[in-house]
Structure 1
């Protein structure tokens, strides 16, 4: 089977708060398939979904209780260090919780971390050796 990741869904406490955060802090527009029950953001072949955490847990037949780090982060990869700093500042101004201030990394790049309103950890990163296609998707072989 060909590797294929199509949708990443994040369980959220308040769908409207999270929708507004991702739209205002990151500038992502919900797709036309979004409604009052679920929100989708198109990322050039991968869809980010937001769905009420209690309903997501029920669907997966697991407990919605969360404690601490989930072991998962999502990353937004950008073209420049300055873009990392600029997006980080915008996110924090729009309600993101600072986790790691923008910094030089041990691997030769530049990154920062923030948490969304539900505590999900996001990295914003730049690396001099990364390339992107015309849709802005990271190319790795």
Structure 2
């Protein structure tokens, strides 16, 4: 047997699940039924984004590691790709209006796309990107 080639969940360990729930709702994302300030889920394409208390996630996934320090970057970025270059600027503006912190404004990238980065209220980095041909532009 091999490990199936798919991604089912992305779980963000949250210091304040309620605050992140409100943030992603402000992005216009619809939460799955049954969420609370202790655990929340959003369908994002064929993957589910989960918000789970950081202390509990740390105990499960990294019991022998030091907990991450508040405000430090994990080295992981998540991305939302859009169908047209101009949509990056619109998504960037919408993310900031929802409470995201700008990390780097959208710029043309050496790999041929256009993207910028924002951080959610707990520092998770999101790339808002257009990659020619990815979404059938």
**TM-score, structure 1 normalization:** 0.85
Deviation of residue 107 (structure 1)? Answer: 1.1
1:89–1:95 CA distance, 2 compared to 1 (3 A)? same
Q: Does 1:65 align with 2:68?
A: yes
The runs of 5 or more residues in structure 1 that have no matched partner are 133-141
RMSD: 1.5
Q: Does 1:49 align with 2:50?
A: yes
1:71–1:65 CA distance, 2 compared to 1 (3 A)? closer
Deviation of residue 71 (structure 1)? Answer: 1.5
SS at match of 2:92: helix
The runs of 5 or more residues in structure 2 that have no matched partner are none
Cα distance between partner residues in 1 of 2:6 and 2:48? 12
> How many residues in Structure 1 have an aligned counterpart in Structure 2?
131
Partner residue of 1:112? Answer: 116
Q: Does 1:35 align with 2:36?
A: yes
Partner residue of 1:130? Answer: 134
Q: Does 1:22 align with 2:6?
A: no
Deviation of residue 58 (structure 1)? Answer: 1.8
Equivalent residues of 2:11, 2:49 under 8 A apart? yes
Partner residue of 2:90? Answer: 86
SS at match of 1:131: coil
